[in-house]
Amino acid sequence: MFSLLKLMNKIWFIAFQIGIVLSVLNVVQAEPVDTHTPTLQVHGFVAQGIIDVDGSDFVNDDQSLSAELTEAGINFSYDFSPSIRAAGQAVYLNGGNRYAEGARVDYFLIDWTAYSSEDWKANLYLGRYKNTHWLYSGTRDVAFTRPSIILPQAIYFDGFRDIAVGADGAFLALSRNTDDFGEFDFNISSGSSNISKDQTEIILGEQATGEMETEKDVQASFYWRPFLSSWRFGIVGLDSEFSYKRGDNDIFTSADITLQRFMVNAIFEGEYWEFSGEGFQERFVLDGLYFDGFHRDTKGQGAFVQSRYKVSQQATLLARAEVFYADKDDRDGKELEEITGGMVPHYFGYQHDLTLGAQYDFTDNLRLQMEYHWVKGTARLTPVVNPNVKVNNQERWDMWALQLMYWF
């Protein structure tokens, strides 16, 4: 409740700033003179499934069949004028150990179409915005927009979901259409966010009593679709800083964390076949946390390639291969095992996943999705910093999931 009030405060402050900005910058493009009627659009989704993990604590510690696979959300969009729109979405998520269970304000923003013509479009979003820079990040919780129930954890690690999903700040989107070279999109965002107690425990473990905060999150992405092409290519850059303030009787000390990511992706959308892939390298700098003066600077790497085949208008098959290395200079995790004195097994240094799946559309907005994952390694399990080596005592594990989803 307190965080919601803080968000409302921020929104009002931002709305006030928008007022000033608009009055100054209205010269950029005069408000079109037309008979605009304010319209309200409401959409939503609900998805419930079952998931069974054998050999890891990905969903629950006792590895039993679980119904902790719930995603529901409702959103609105209201345009006050052709240039100003307000939009928001609330979601409820339950994924067991994957992320904090509960409801949250997913996005809540003012969208200002600063400029729009046949060839150009510029939008400024202020408030709580979604991270829409990656291939699936903008709708990662919206089951029917995903290629699979569980997204590739190398990139869309659920343990970092609340940190990566968006921020409070500003997002600028520029799109350009040309007849010769195709469509270009450039997006840049900057913001910060509070990290909940539950999310802090997901990252650090239950012994962490301090407070974690996103100090800075700057991201930029550039996408290009050649003229009338089925291909689309993208590059993404991310620079974020987090702080941890030690709590009472805390096993950790205060810390500064820097995370820098560079990503590339490509997608081909044909009539029957679809191919896509996304890869990244991530620099992770940790100062403190274990003891004052501790310093670690590592680079992780991950990627997936995916293919989908439309058997019919209703049925689609999926095959995906994914790799992740927590430290590219320690691909087999041996060094990790050594520096922890054998406490953390080497297979916590990587996680590779082979996925096969299928989906069937009963109607335009009712779908059943199912999949099987064969996984090697445990680097993308929670808690992240203080791993659960008791439950995760084997290198190979697998899971299957089934989810029914409805949207409107």
Partner 1 sequence: MSPFKLVGFFELIHGCTCCRNNKDINIKHILNGLFIGLLIWSSPANSVDVVVNQSVQLQSLSTKQLRRIYSMRQVRWADGSSIQVYVLPSQHKIHQRFSKDVLRIFPYQLDRMWNKLTFSGLGVGPVEVPDEKTLLKLIAETPGSIGYVEKYSEVDDVQLIKIDE
Give the interface with partner 1 as residue ranges (CB under 8 A).
30, 32-36, 41, 43, 45, 73, 75, 77, 79, 82, 85, 87-89, 106-107, 109, 111, 113, 116-118, 121, 123, 125, 129-130, 132, 138-139, 142, 144-145, 173, 175, 177, 179, 183, 228, 269-271, 310, 313, 364
Nearest 5 degrees, angle CA 388-CA 394-CA 397? Answer: 100
Q: How far is the CB of 361 from partner 1 (least distance, A)?
A: 9
Q: Is the CB of 111 or the CB of 353 nearer to partner 1? A: 111
Q: Is the CB of 121 or the CB of 216 nearer to partner 1? A: 121
Q: How far is the CB of 21 from partner 1 (least distance, A)?
A: 19
Q: How far is the CB of 121 from partner 1 (least distance, A)?
A: 6
Q: How far is the CB of 183 from partner 1 (least distance, A)?
A: 7
Q: Is the CB of 271 or the CB of 329 nearer to partner 1? A: 271
Three-state DSSP at 50 gives strand
d(C-alpha 146, C-alpha 281), whole Å: 23
d(C-alpha 343, C-alpha 389), whole Å: 8
DSSP β-bridge partners for residue 127:
109, 169
- Nearest alpha carbon to residue 122 among 181, 191, 171: 171
Contact 267, 135 (CB under 8 A): yes
Q: Is the CB of 227 or the CB of 290 nearer to partner 1? A: 227
d(C-alpha 156, C-alpha 135), whole Å: 10
Q: Is the CB of 173 or the CB of 259 nearer to partner 1? A: 173
Q: How far is the CB of 308 from partner 1 (least distance, A)?
A: 10
d(C-alpha 138, C-alpha 11), whole Å: 20
| 106 exposure class (CB count in 10 Å sphere: 0-12, 13-18, 19+) | buried
Q: What is the DSSP letter of 253?
A: P
- Nearest alpha carbon to residue 67 among 83, 55, 49: 49
Q: How far is the CB of 132 from partner 1 (least distance, A)?
A: 5
Q: How far is the CB of 173 from partner 1 (least distance, A)?
A: 7
Q: Is the CB of 130 or the CB of 246 nearer to partner 1? A: 130
What is the identity of the amino acid at 148? S
> What is the token pair recorded at 288?
């403190």
Q: Is the CB of 6 or the CB of 36 nearer to partner 1? A: 36
Q: Is the CB of 269 or the CB of 335 nearer to partner 1? A: 269
Q: How far is the CB of 258 from partner 1 (least distance, A)?
A: 27
Contact 109, 125 (CB under 8 A): yes
DSSP β-bridge partners for residue 347:
none
For tokens 């004028």, the residue is 81
Q: How far is the CB of 175 from partner 1 (least distance, A)?
A: 6
Contact 294, 288 (CB under 8 A): yes
d(C-alpha 232, C-alpha 268), whole Å: 7
Task: Compute CA 220 distance to the chain's CA centroid, rounded to the nearest angstrom.
Answer: 15
Q: Is the CB of 23 or the CB of 313 nearer to partner 1? A: 313
